[in-house]
Structure 1
Amino acid sequence: MSENRGRRRGEGDENAAVTLSNGFRAVVEADRHQPGAFTLVVDGTPQSHVALDDPTYLSFEYVRRIGHAIDLVAAEGQPITAVHLGGGAFTLPRYIASTRPGSRQQVVELESDLVDFVRENLPLPREAQIRIRHGDAREVLAKLPLGLKGTVDFLVVDVFSGARTPAHVTSMEFYTIAAGLMAGAGILAANVADGAGLAFARSQAATLSAVFAHVALVVDPQVLKSRRFGNVVMFASDAELPFDRLPRLVASDPTPAKVVEGAELKAFIASAPVVTDQTAIPSPPPARSIFQVKPGSAS
């Protein structure tokens, strides 16, 4: 962990902080409205929200949408094999460990000092079978044990450097590597952030559709209409997605969303190009005012 670090929680300050090796500052901010809950903020951008006393509580809109898919990927309570690209504060690994005890999970995170910081300030449940691997998401994904090939039930792609997704985890080649790990009915969930026009999101949908047989999006209607920057959660599988209940679930969330699939998905993609390693670019940067929070403002 970097030596340039702030006071820990419980040492006269509710917020713990550390400067990471990449120069970003990470802060764990106490949620003023929910005792026992915290927000991980990296480079001014909220990355994760964790309720230590109730890991089934998912605060962020896009995380809740992925949580719904986790609930539907297998029978209730059944253990699964999951891989998470991007660690953050381990919100979804905690969720799976709580709702599907006995699940095998692998988390890939580039920033080792961020992992140390989170584990020190927001400890993982001792009974959770969560293995953490350090390194670049794509490089580690390609080197995961052969025993995982064809066994992954749920794979989360939520890789950000600051507020942007790196280009090399957005291409057809990258998703093809991911597809090689998936079980027959396994689901890949990708968190895509985009703004006006949704050109990046459309190309990501086109790319996933070029690799997987079935693709669906979950998105806030206002984001879909390009009225604001936001998250588009994309799901892909070689089997038909078990999402009969998903439209009702996401429509009843605090921030309602809709499922886009079939003909509507084709219209959304339109003529968007498939992304390759040669054409890949990072996701567009949001205005700093969209996600940036001030210390003590976690909610």
Structure 2
Amino acid sequence: MARRSREEPDSPRVRLSDGTLARVARSEFTSGWELLVDETPQSHVDLDDPTHLHFEYIARIGAVIDVLKPAGEPLTAVHLGGGALTVPRYIAVTRPDSRQQVIELEPGLWDLVRENLPLPRGAAIRVRIGDARAGVEKMPGGILGQVDLVVSDVFAGAQTPAHVTSVEFYTSVAKLLAADGVVLVNVADGPGLAYTRRQIATLRQVLPHVAVLAEAQVLKGRRFGNLVLAASRAPLPTDWLPRLLAAGPHPAKIATDREVNQLASGALPVTDADAVASPRPNASIFDR
């Protein structure tokens, strides 16, 4: 997780529908910009180099995207949760001619990003305003079964809303996927990984092949952080591992097969009837 950034009175900002404040500020630690919502860093964007994926969990998402198809081959992608569109920008640059749709709840947030962090020239990225789950359920019939990648990175402040964590939700998402299509879910969880375990069980009820990518200490349930869950009807490629282990300043790990079975052992799938939002991180998680 990135740290909380200091307030900048003159940074572009907008008040969102829930009363929280979103703003764009220069990154304190690297080149580029950050989108913050309620002072929680949501996205990092380097306008000069969209392949610069500063947040570690985003870099792991990028590593998966790199191996979904041969290098440079376009994808059909749906992104749930817009943020500053870091991942759509990455795909547009590394896989030209990709067709991408983004569903973002907050029109003011999209206006803020569009005006201050313009998209790469020629990027075929369509942004739809609305709720992520409702948007998935209303997708036109022609896209069903045609999507190579769905990225679910939906947050309200620092938590994932309950209604995008259930079997019913992932069943709708799975209808979009091509036979070898992949869903990537950003999960934020703390020690014990109780929330993650249930999300693994939930995904596996819909898509049988699941892998978990995270920094080693997060994957062991020793500290709060981001985990990326990858799920598909088809077996997931195992050649992700070397790049993941080499990327970033902290040891990265991918859990598959037996380790995923162990993580999900005893965990019950989440349904609409018992879904809850993801754990709220302590504010100190954003400090250096």
TM-score with structure 2 setting the length: 0.94
Structure 1 residue 169, shift from structure 2 partner: 0.3
Q: What SS does the aligned partner of 2:91 have?
A: helix
What are the equivalent positions in structure 2 for 1:133-144 lying under 5 Å apart? 133-144=128-139
1:77-92 matched pairs, under 5 angstroms: 77-92=72-87
Deviation per CA, 1:60-89, whole angstroms, max 9, x where unpaired?
Answer: 011000000110111100001000000000
Match of 1:155 in 2: 150
Question: Are 1:28 and 2:9 matched, yes or no?
Answer: no
In structure 1, the partner of 2:186 is 191
Shift of 1:225: 2.1
C-alpha distance in structure 2 between counterparts of 1:276 and 1:172, whole Å: 5
AA matched with 1:248:
P
From 23, 37, 44, the equivalent of 2:39 is 44
SS at 2:212 equivalent: strand
Task: Call closer, same or farther: CA 1:228–1:68 in 2, change over 3 Å.
Answer: same
- The Cα shift of 1:33 comes to 4.6
Counterpart selection for 1:238 from 222, 233, 236? 233
- 1: distance between equivalents of 2:173 and 2:12? 35
Give the AA of the match of 1:23.
Answer: G
Aligned-partner SS, 2:110: helix
Query: Can you list the C-alpha shifts for 1:84-132, whole angstroms capped at 9, x where unaligned?
Result: 0000000000000000000000000000100000000001123000000
| CA distance, structure 1, for counterparts of residue 179 and residue 287 of structure 2 | 39
- Following TM superposition, by how much is the alpha carbon of 1:162 offset from its aligned partner in structure 2, in angstroms? 0.3
Amino acid at match of 1:252: A
Q: In structure 2, the residue corresponding to 1:26 is in which secondary structure?
A: strand
Q: What is the match of residue 253 of structure 1?
A: 247
Runs of 4+ in 1 over 4 A off after TM superposition: none
C-alpha contact 1:45 1:292 (8 A) present in aligned 2: no
Q: Offset of 1:232 from its aligned partner?
A: 1.1
Matches of 2:245 and 2:36, distance apart in 1? 28
TM-score (norm 1): 0.91
1:176/1:46 CA distance change after superposition, 3 Å: same
| Alpha-carbon distance between aligned partners in 1 of 2:196 and 2:36, rounded to the nearest angstrom | 24
**Percent identical:** 54
How many equivalent residue pairs?
A: 280
Q: What residue identity is the alignment partner of 1:173?
A: E
Question: Distance between the aligned counterparts of 2:27 and 2:241, measured in 1?
Answer: 30
Deviations, residues 124-156 of structure 1 (Å, cap 9, x unaligned): 123000000111100011001111100100100
Which of 14, 21, 24 is the equivalent residue of 1:18?
A: 14
| Separation in structure 1 between the aligned mates of residue 279 and residue 38 of structure 2, nearest angstrom | 16
Q: CA deviation at 1:249?
A: 1.0
Match of 1:29, SS?
A: strand
Give the residue type in structure 1 aligned to 2:242.
R
- Provide the rounded CA distance (Å) in 1 between the counterparts of 2:220 and 2:68: 29
Tell me by how many angstroms 1:20 deviates. 1.8
SS of 1:96's equivalent?
A: helix
Cα distance in structure 1, aligned partners of 2:28 and 2:130: 33
Distance 1:163-1:32 versus aligned 2 partners, 3 A rule: closer
**Once the 2 structures are TM-superposed, how far is the Cα of residue 32 of structure 1 from its aligned partner?**
4.1
Give the structure 1 partner of residue 100 of structure 2. 105
TM-superposed CA distance for 1:292, in Å, is: 6.3
For 2:66, the aligned partner's letter is D
Instruction: Indicate the RMSD between aligned Cα atoms, in angstroms.
Output: 1.4
Quote the offset at 1:289 in angstroms. 1.6
Q: Is the deviation greater in 94-103 or in 141-150?
A: 141-150
8 A Cα contact 1:66 1:189, kept in partner: yes
Unaligned runs of 5+ in 1: 1-8, 294-299
Q: Report the alpha carbon displacement of residue 291 of structure 1 after superposing the two structures with TM.
A: 2.7
Measured in 2, the distance between the counterparts of 1:82 and 1:212 equals: 18
Q: Secondary structure at the match of 1:70?
A: helix
